[in-house]
A = this chain, B = another copy of it.
Amino acid sequence: MLDTARLTDEQRLDWLCLIRSDHVGPRTFRVLINHCGGARAALAALPDLARRGGARRPARIHSRQEAEREIAAAKRFGVTLLALSEPDYPHRLRMIDDAPPLLAVRGNMAALAPPTVAIVGARNASAAGMRFAERLARQLGGEGFAVVSGLARGIDAAAHRASLATGTVAVLAGGHDHIYPREHIELADAILAQGALVSEMPFGHEPRARDFPRRNRLISGLCAGVVVVEAAKRSGSLITARFALEQGREVFAVPGSPLDPRAEGANDLIKQGATLVTDAADVLAVLRPILGAAVELRAEEPEPPASGAEPGAGERARIVALLGPTPMPVDDLVRLSGSSPAVVRVVLLELELAGRLERHGGALVSLV
């Protein structure tokens, strides 16, 4: 779908304009490129698609000037915008169905190459939990793994600190100029020597609460496996573990006392089949055989190009009428509407660009 080739500066600007435009997320980006044949053509087609999707006001297209300013500012900060199609783009991350078209990377790009493993856990971690995270990160670092985490307080910071010398990757929820929490600015700087900071968010973006769960899919997506060290029920680390499962990545969990609420999430993961970890050897035993193997895409199948399909007004109305606030499979929509898959995909794209459609994992869609 997307060639593995370096983008020209012009193409990179097109990509940036497209992904920064209203209602264009990573999945829509792919659909648009497929539908229109390229980023520039997609940018040209976007206003019309959104209008046909019923947009209440004209779709906001990210301007070339804004994109140029972002690239220049990022460059001054030492940030490279890596495109999904380029050879340096982390190859495991490329396989997830909502991989960022452009990944902003600062530091040592080599840290993004496999083998990589995530170590994540509670912010209000126990001393024992942090000591264990450090030990594990040091051991896995010593075995040649880059340790990926989220730069949060507690387990994340412990994992980063213990793998500074061997290479660690922090995935940010905001732009590169908005390190969160502020107290970890020094840690972030220390990571840059051997490791890297990465973000899919625009330079200048201040992270909001909803950016963190979304960011977590990149932590798991970058790695062959995710180790959850301490995690309460309904914690962010469990979101990362769920993403890991959806992405076909290995999930590991460190057990704890049933009386410690910080162990509840990890113990539950083990009950559900995660590998129990008391030692780096437990992680290595599972990941070593995987690292040699080809990366497999477990998410939905890539859609065939849909260019040429042109829904009539009646067809569009019929498809919209079938949709509601409850997520439903695109396959059902095709079956129930009687339209061709290509036509359904175009209608969904239009609705999405009009801000009226939400895409969920597993090829589910709902009206906003």
Which chain A residues have a beta carbon within 8 Å of chain B's beta carbons? 128-129, 131-132, 254-260, 263-264, 267-268, 270-271, 276-279, 282
Cross-chain contact A276 with B255 (CB below 8 angstroms): yes
By the criterion CB–CB under 8 Å, are B263 and A255 in contact?
yes
On chain B, the residues within 8 Å of A254 by CB distance are 257-258
Chain B residues, Cβ within 8 Å of A259: 128, 131-132
A282: B residues at CB distance < 8 A: 271
Chain B minimum-CB-distance residue to A275:
B271
- Residues of B near A271 (CB, < 8 A) are 276, 278, 282
Chain B, residue nearest A266 (CB) = B255
CA distance A268 to B278 in the complex (A): 9
Whole-angstrom distance between the alpha carbons of A234 and B276 in the complex? 20
Nearest Cβ on chain B to A233's Cβ, whole angstroms:
11
Which B residues touch A279, using CB under 8 A? 258
CB < 8 Å: which of B129, B132, B255 contacts A255? Answer: B255
Given contacts A129-B257, A255-B267, 14 further A-B contacts (CB under 8 A): A128-B260, A131-B259, A254-B257, A255-B258, A256-B256, A257-B263, A258-B278, A264-B278, A267-B276, A268-B278, A270-B270, A270-B276, A271-B276, A276-B276
A255 touches B270 (CB 8 A): yes
Chain B residues whose CB sits within 8 angstroms of the CB of A131 once the complex forms = 259
Interface centre among A267, A270, A282 (most CB of B within 10 A): A267
Question: Does A128 lie within 8 Å of B267, measured CB to CB?
Answer: no
A250 to chain B, nearest CB (A): 15
Contact call A132/B277, Cβ cutoff below 8 A = no
Write out the residue numbers on chain B whose beta carbons fall within 8 Å of the beta carbon of A256: 255-257
Per the bound structure, the CA–CA distance linking A258 and B279 in Å amounts to 8
Taken together as a complex, chains A and B put the C-alpha atoms of A303 and B132 apart, in Å, by 52
A260 to B263, CA, bound (A): 14
Interface centre among A260, A270, A278, A279 (most CB of B within 10 A): A278
Task: Give CA–CA (A171, B278) in the complex, Å.
Answer: 33
Task: List 9 tightest A-B contacts by C-beta distance, closest first.
Answer: A255-B255, A258-B278, A128-B259, A267-B278, A270-B276, A128-B257, A271-B276, A256-B257, A255-B267
Q: In the complex, A270→B255 CA distance in Å?
A: 10
- 14 inter-chain pairs at a CB distance below 8 angstroms, sorted by A residue, are A131-B259, A132-B257, A132-B258, A254-B258, A255-B270, A255-B276, A256-B256, A256-B257, A257-B263, A267-B278, A270-B276, A271-B276, A271-B282, A276-B276
Closest to A264 in B: B278
Q: Distance in Å from the Cβ of A135 to the closest Cβ of chain B?
A: 8
In the bound assembly, the distance between CA atoms of A276 and B272 in angstroms comes to 10
Instruction: Name which of A128, A254, A257 has the most chain B CB atoms within 10 A of its CB.
Output: A257
